[in-house]
């Protein structure tokens, strides 16, 4: 920032009062580097000020919403897409996905439990499926499915989408958006048309109760009967189902 | 392509697909947010060519870092616009030449006779934010807008407003604390608890 005259000044020792006096400027990122470094050095050793900075930054970030929308110049969208294609190479469907824990083998008791759950879902699908769920479409090779994740009493816990690439038998991406979950370890379980299940990954959910995850799966979309979220002891928390 | 179907996805799901390198999801995301991102970039830098460049860089970073988005911290839109603002501020640090008209910035807010309910935005995140800012004393609101949407330092703001730097700092902090209190969800996740 233009306050360049302060760059040669040694970092002052900042206490909590000094931090409070400048935390708004720090959160809005309008301080010069020397002041910023001094404040961050204090925050690094002060839990109270670190928490204050997080909250003030969250407020400052929201102020960006006030800017008015404005139509970009003609051709902007195309230029951006060309740039994104260039970033990821000519063929792009297999960039590394969000790291997940190693896939764990499916346990026999889980298979039995899942089969029971699947049967129950088959009977009560009308109750379980949210009214927005179950969009199914095909465009040539590409296929897309989307459904909400709901619990047995209709509580909403996010959504699942499946997208097939050029080879719908091997090139499928599952995206799971999770909401309203207690902190803990959760498993994404794919239920196949032949009655079997695959525990494709497990993820931690933190205090916020939410997360967005994506991973490739090795089954064709047509083979996937449902997707469920299970907790670490194998209880089904929420499930979705595609229309027949 | 399945672009038409990707249009049904929310922003979080689109980011998830983008994290796997799905260009159709990226196309929908860019189309959905390009006016917002370009609008913020232009508001901050007042230069259409630079704004376009910064908006493009924003989408490139979103694409590259989609997997790092944490929905507990902010909406996708806020996360994305924060990237835009940081890119703009980096440019300001290198070369600040823009004049900023506080009146023009304040015009972004509903005036006191036009409540947020009147303009039908009260229930949105931005509607709530505008409502809070409309309720701030004008001197505080102006300082906050000059800092957040024009990237001015408190020294610059003090000079523009004809007030001591200490007064500018106090107004800025008071205004941002009120925004924090009234706009943020009850529990914005932080690394540690308040002592």
pLDDT digits 0-9 by tens, A145-197: 778 887 766 677 788 888 776 666 666 778 888 877 887 888 888 888 777 78
Dihedral of CA B169/B103/B37/B9: which sign? positive
Segments forming the whole domain that contains residue A9: 4-66
Chain B residues in contact with A23 by the CB 8 A cut-off are 173
Read off the tokens for A190. 């794919």
Helix (H, G, I), strand (E, B) or coil at A149: strand
**Between chains, do B153 and A146 touch, taking CB under 8 Å as contact?**
no
Angstrom distance (rounded) from CA A175 to CA B66? 13
Cα–Cα distance measured from residue B168 to residue B147, given in angstroms and rounded to the nearest whole number: 10
Mutate to test the interface with A, among B12, B45, B175 (most CBs of A within 10 A): B12
A55 and A116 fall within a common domain: no
Tell me if A93 is assigned to some domain: no
- Residues in B closer than 8 angstroms to A90, CB to CB, are none
Residue indicated by tokens 């460049």: B53
Q: Both tokens of residue A198?
A: 């695959």
Query: Given an 8 Å threshold on Cβ–Cβ distance, is A20 in contact with B74?
Result: no
DSSP conformation class of B21? T
Helix (H, G, I), strand (E, B) or coil at B120: coil
Residues A32 and A122 in one domain: no
Contact A191, A143 (CB under 8 A): no
CA distances from B58 to A66, A217, B14 (A): 17, 30, 16
Q: What is the pTM of this model?
A: 0.58
CB-defined contacts A:B, below 8 A = 276
Q: Which two tokens stand for residue B149?
A: 């949407």
CA distances from B106 to A28, A108, A231, B44, B52 (A): 18, 64, 49, 14, 24
- Residue B34: both structure tokens together: 């390009």
Choose among A56, A81, A216: nearest Cβ to B176.
Answer: A56
pLDDT in tens, A93-110: 333 334 333 333 334 344
Distance CA B193, CA B190 (A): 7
Specify the number of domains making up chain A.
Answer: 2
- Return the percentage of chain A with pLDDT > 90, whole number: 20
Question: Residue B68 and residue B50: Cα distance in Å, rounded?
Answer: 26
As a whole number of angstroms, the distance between CA B127 and CA B113 comes to: 15
Q: B162 in the Ramachandran plot: left (φ > 0), alpha (ψ -120 to 50) or beta? A: left
Name all domains of chain B by residue range, CATH numbers in brackets.
9-96 (1.10.1740.10), 99-185 (1.10.10.10)
Do A119 and A207 fall within a single domain? yes
Distance from CA of B133 to the nearest CA of A (A): 10
Query: Do A208 and B52 count as a contact with CB atoms less than 8 A apart?
Result: no
Does residue A88 belong to any structural domain of this protein?
no
Q: What's the complex ipTM?
A: 0.81
pLDDT 10s per residue in chain A (244 long)? 344 344 444 456 789 999 999 999 999 999 988 888 899 999 988 999 999 999 999 999 999 998 889 999 999 999 999 999 887 764 333 333 343 333 333 343 443 444 444 434 433 333 333 333 444 444 434 567 778 887 766 677 788 888 776 666 666 778 888 877 887 888 888 888 777 788 888 888 877 777 777 777 878 888 888 888 887 767 778 888 654 3
Buried-exposed string A140-155: b where 16+ CB fall within 10 A, e elsewhere:
eebbbbbbbbbeeeee
Same domain, A32 and A114: no
Residue that finishes a domain, picked among A66, A81, A99: A66
**Is residue A9 within 8 Å of A34, Cβ to Cβ?**
yes
Residues A31 and A135 in one domain: no
């Amino acid at each position: 920032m233009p306050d360049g005259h302060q760059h040669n000044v040694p970092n002052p020792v900042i206490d909590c009062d000094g931090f409070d006096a400048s935390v708004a400027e720090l959160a809005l990122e309008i301080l010069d580097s020397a002041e910023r470094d001094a404040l961050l050095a204090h925050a690094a050793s002060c839990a109270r000020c670190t928490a204050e900075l997080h909250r003030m930054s969250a407020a400052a970030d929201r102020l960006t919403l006030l800017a008015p929308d404005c139509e970009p110049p003609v051709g902007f969208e195309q230029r951006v897409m060309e740039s994104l294609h260039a970033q990821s190479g000519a063929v792009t469907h297999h960039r590394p996905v969000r790291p997940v824990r190693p896939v764990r083998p499916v346990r026999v008791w889980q298979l039995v439990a899942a089969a029971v759950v699947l049967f129950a879902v088959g009977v009560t699908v009308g109750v379980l499926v949210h009214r927005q769920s179950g969009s199914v479409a095909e465009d040539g090779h590409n296929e897309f499915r989307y459904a909400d994740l709901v619990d047995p009493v209709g509580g909403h816990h996010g959504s699942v989408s499946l997208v097939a690439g050029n080879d719908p038998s091997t090139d499928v991406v599952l995206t799971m958006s999770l909401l309203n979950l207690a902190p803990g370890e959760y498993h994404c379980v794919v239920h196949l048309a032949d009655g079997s299940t695959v525990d494709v990954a497990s993820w931690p959910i933190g205090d916020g109760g939410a997360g967005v995850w994506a991973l490739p799966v090795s089954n064709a979309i047509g083979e996937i009967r449902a997707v469920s979220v299970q907790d670490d002891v194998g209880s089904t928390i929420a499930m979705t189902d595609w229309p027949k | 392509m399945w672009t038409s179907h990707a249009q049904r996805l929310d922003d979080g799901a689109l980011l998830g697909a983008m994290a796997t390198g799905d260009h159709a999801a990226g196309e929908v995301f860019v189309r959905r947010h390009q006016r917002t991102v370009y609008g913020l970039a232009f508001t901050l830098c007042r230069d259409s060519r630079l704004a376009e460049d910064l908006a493009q860089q924003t989408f490139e970073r979103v694409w590259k870092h989609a997997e790092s988005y944490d929905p507990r911290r902010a909406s996708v839109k806020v996360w994305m616009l924060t990237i835009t603002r940081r890119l703009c501020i980096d440019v300001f640090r290198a070369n600040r030449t823009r004049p900023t008209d506080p009146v023009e910035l304040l015009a972004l807010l509903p005036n006191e006779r036009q409540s947020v309910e009147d303009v039908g935005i009260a229930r949105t995140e931005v509607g709530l934010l505008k409502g809070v800012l409309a309720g701030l004393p004008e001197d505080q609101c102006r300082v906050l807008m000059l800092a957040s949407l024009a990237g001015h330092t408190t020294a610059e703001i003090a000079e523009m407003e004809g007030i001591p730097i200490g007064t500018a700092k106090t107004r800025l902090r008071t205004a941002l604390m009120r925004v924090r209190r009234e706009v943020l969800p009850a529990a914005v996740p932080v690394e540690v608890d308040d002592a």
